[in-house]
Amino acid sequence: MMPSHHWARNFTVEKDDIEYLTNLLLERETPLDTETLTRVLIESRINTEVATLRQRYQDARVYDPARAYQIGQKLIFTDFDYETAVVVGTRIGNNPDYGAFNVLAVQFDDDDLNIDDKPREFASELTVEHDLNQEGEVDDSIGSVNDLNADDILATSGKELTKKVEDKLRASPDLIYMARLWFPRDLLMDVNVGHLNLAEAVLDINGGGPMSTETILGEMGGLGKAPQALQIFSLNYGLNNDSRFDEVGPTGEVLWHLTRLEPEEVQHTPAMLRYTPIEYDRNLLTKELITIENEIDDEHSSTEDVGNIDQTQITLTYPHRRLGTLPLSDRTSVIFPTARQTLHVAFSLVDGQDGEEYPAWVVRKERYVYGLAKFYRKHKLPIGAYVTVSKSDEAGKVVVNFKAHKPRTEWIRLIVPKADQITFENHKRAIGAEYDDLMILGAEDLAGVDALFTNAQQQKKSLVAILRSIIPPLGLLTPQGTVHAKTIYSAVNVLRRCPPGPIFAVLIANPDFQNVGGDYWKLSND
C-alpha cells in the first residue's frame, strides 16, 4: 500500500494552488478556515495525481527476493519508500551461503538511487528466508493507490500540511485572514462608518460587551442580502480595523467589546505589575531555590512543561492582592482561556465558595488576570493565601477557590510604613483561609504602602537596595534574626515587581547577604 506519509512528505504549495483556493473562495462566496482549505487542496491534488500514480505503478510488481523477474520488468522497492526501477540485466549469483540464486541489475527511475549512474544489484529467486520475502499473495499491481485519501493524509501529517498551506495563504495579498477564516479581499462587503457607529451603539446599549458578531449583526439589521457568513466576516474585518472595538473572545470564538468600556487595568498594565527584566546567572540558583521558585509559580518565571492540567494552586502576592489580579503563569495559563490573536480575553470567574460570578479578563501579553478584587474582599483573603483555579464544565468560565475554615486569630507580619521606610511588625489578625506562613503579609495602611512603592520607583531603587531595606526589619520578627527566601520574595514585591529568580541570584552573588542554612538569609554585617 502507498503510505500517506510518502505522499505528504513531498507536498509543496505552489502559486497555482493558492490561485485554485482563491477561486474556490470566490465561487462559494463563503469564508473558510485553513483546515478546510487544506483538505480541499489535498483532495484536489489526489484527484489530479492519482492518474500519474496509476501510470507509474502500472504493471509494476513489489520486489520479492524469492521471485524471478525478466529484463524490462518494472519493480517497486518498499525499502526505498516505494520507488520504482526497471530490470536491465540478470546474472547468476555466487554465494554458497545462499545456494542457487540470480542477481538482478535494476535502474531506478530516481537517479539519486542509482550508484554512479550505474544500475544497482538485487538478489532474485532466493530459496532462503529474507526480510523482504512477501508472505502469502501480494497485490503486485499496487492498486492500493486508489485507497489514498485526505482522511489518511491529514491523520498522519495534518498539522505539518496545514502550516504549509497557511504560510502560503498569509503571503497572498489577495486574501484576508480574520477570525480564523480566509476570504478574497475583492469580495469583502463594504463596512462603512455608519455600520461601525451602529455596532458601537449596539455594544454601548449592552454594557460594552462582550457580544458575538452574529448578535451585533442581528441588532444592526444586517449588512444587506449577502450570505450570513460573508456579512459576519466583513463586519469582523471592519471592527478589527477600528480602535473603538476590541476582539476579546477565547480561541475558537469571536466576541467584541468596546475598548473605552474595558477596565483601566485591562487597557493599561498597573505599575505594580510591570516587571523590567533583570539579567542574572541562573546557574547560581541551588536545587532548593529552584524548587521554591517552582512552588511560587510567578508569571515571569519559567517552569517545566505542566501538560494538560485541570486545576492548579498559586500563592497570593501583594501586587495581585492589591489590584485584584492573578498571575498568568505557565501553570495557570493552561486553566484560563487564551487566544493567540487577541490581547485581551473576556470570561467569567465563578466563586467556588458560593457560586457568585465575576466578569474577568485575561491580559495575555502582560501575563495577568484581572477581576478578583471583589472575591478577595468578600473572603478577606490575606497576602500569602493559597488560591486554586480550576477549569469549569461551562465554556468561558473558570472556578476560583480557596480552602476556607472558621476564622481564627493568627500572628502575621504586618507592613508598617514609617517615615517613608518599610518596616514590619507581628500582629494578631483573624484569618479564615489556608496560607503559606512564609509568604503571608498584612497591609492596613494601603495608602502608606502605595506611597512606599511609588517612592521606590521614583528613586529607582536597585534590587540590592530593596533587599538591604527589608531583610533587617523582617529579621527582627524572628528569634534567629534570619529571613526565609520565600518571605524575602513576598516582601520585595511590595516595593518592586520581581520574580524570584533574580532575587535569589542576588542573595547568592552579592556579599552583602549571607546564607545561614535552610534557605534563610541575613545581612552579612549583622
Q: What is the pTM of this model?
A: 0.74
**Angle formed at CA 52 by CA 155 and CA 144, multiple of 5 degrees:** 50
Host H or E run for residue 318: helix 318-323
**Residues forming beta bridges with residue 314, ordered by sequence position:** 387
User: C-alpha cell of 393?
Assistant: 464544565
Whole-number pLDDT of residue 47: 81
Contact between residue 388 and residue 313 where contact means Cβ atoms under 8 Å apart = yes
Pairing mode, if any, of strands 368-370 and 513-515? Answer: unpaired
| Torsion (CA) 287, 291, 296, 298 in degrees, nearest 10 | 60
Contact between residue 124 and residue 103 where contact means Cβ atoms under 8 Å apart = yes
Nearest to 349 by CA among 387, 400, 403, 402: 400
Give 351's DSSP letter. Answer: E
User: C-alpha cell of 390?
Assistant: 480550576
Pairing mode, if any, of strands 83-92 and 74-77? Answer: antiparallel
Nearest to 381 by CA among 321, 319, 323: 321
Q: What phi and psi values does residue 215 have, to the nearest 5 degrees? A: -70, -45
HSE at residue 486, side-chain half, CA atoms within 13 A, is 22
pLDDT tens, position by position, for the chain (526 residues)? 455 566 677 788 889 889 999 999 888 888 888 899 999 998 888 887 777 777 777 788 889 998 999 999 999 888 887 888 999 999 998 888 888 899 999 999 888 888 887 889 999 998 877 655 554 333 444 444 556 678 888 888 888 888 888 899 988 898 988 878 888 888 888 999 999 999 999 999 999 989 999 999 999 999 988 888 889 989 999 999 999 999 998 877 899 999 999 999 999 999 999 999 999 999 999 999 999 999 999 999 987 667 788 899 999 999 999 999 999 998 998 899 887 678 899 999 999 999 999 999 999 999 999 999 999 999 999 999 999 999 998 888 999 999 999 999 999 999 999 988 999 999 999 999 999 999 999 999 999 999 999 999 999 999 999 999 999 999 999 988 999 999 999 999 999 999 999 999 999 999 999 999 889 999 987 5
Amino acid identity for residue 201 in this structure: A
Residues near 375 by Cβ (< 8 Å), separated by ≥ 6? 324, 349, 351, 358, 381, 400
Host H or E run for residue 43: helix 34-57
Asked if CATH classification 3.40.1160.10 holds for the domain at 298-405, the reply, yes or no, is: no
- Please give the Cα distance from 209 to 310 (Å, whole number): 28
- Please give the Cα distance from 461 to 467 (Å, whole number): 10
Residues near 68 by Cβ (< 8 Å), separated by ≥ 6? 102, 124, 125
Indicate the SS3 state at residue 268.
coil
Give 433's DSSP letter. Answer: E
Q: Residues 237-263, buried b or exposed e (16+ Cβ, 10 A)?
A: bbbbeeeebbbbbbeebbbbbbbeebe
Whole-number pLDDT of residue 160: 87
CATH of 188-261, one of 1.10.260, 1.10.3470, 1.10.10, 3.30.160: 1.10.10
- Please give the Cα distance from 280 to 283 (Å, whole number): 9
- Please give the Cα distance from 194 to 176 (Å, whole number): 22
Please give the C-alpha separations between residue 77 and each of 145, 285, 503, in angstroms, as whole numbers.
Answer: 15, 56, 62
Based on its alpha-carbon atoms, the radius of gyration of the chain, rounded to whole angstroms, reads 34
User: C-alpha cell of 273?
Assistant: 505589575
Q: Residues 413-433, buried b or exposed e (16+ Cβ, 10 A)?
A: bbbbbeeeebbbeeeebebbb
Please give the C-alpha separations between residue 52 and each of 17, 32, 56, in angstroms, as whole numbers.
Answer: 18, 29, 6
- Please give the Cα distance from 375 to 371 (Å, whole number): 8
Please give the C-alpha separations between residue 156 and each of 4, 43, 180, 324, in angstroms, as whole numbers.
Answer: 7, 15, 23, 45
Whole-number pLDDT of residue 147: 61
Whole-number pLDDT of residue 72: 92
Residues near 418 by Cβ (< 8 Å), separated by ≥ 6? none
- Please give the Cα distance from 202 to 216 (Å, whole number): 6
Handedness of CA 261, 264, 266, 267 (dihedral sign): positive
Sequence ranges of the domains in the chain: 4-57+147-178, 61-140, 188-261, 298-405, 410-523
Host H or E run for residue 122: strand 120-124
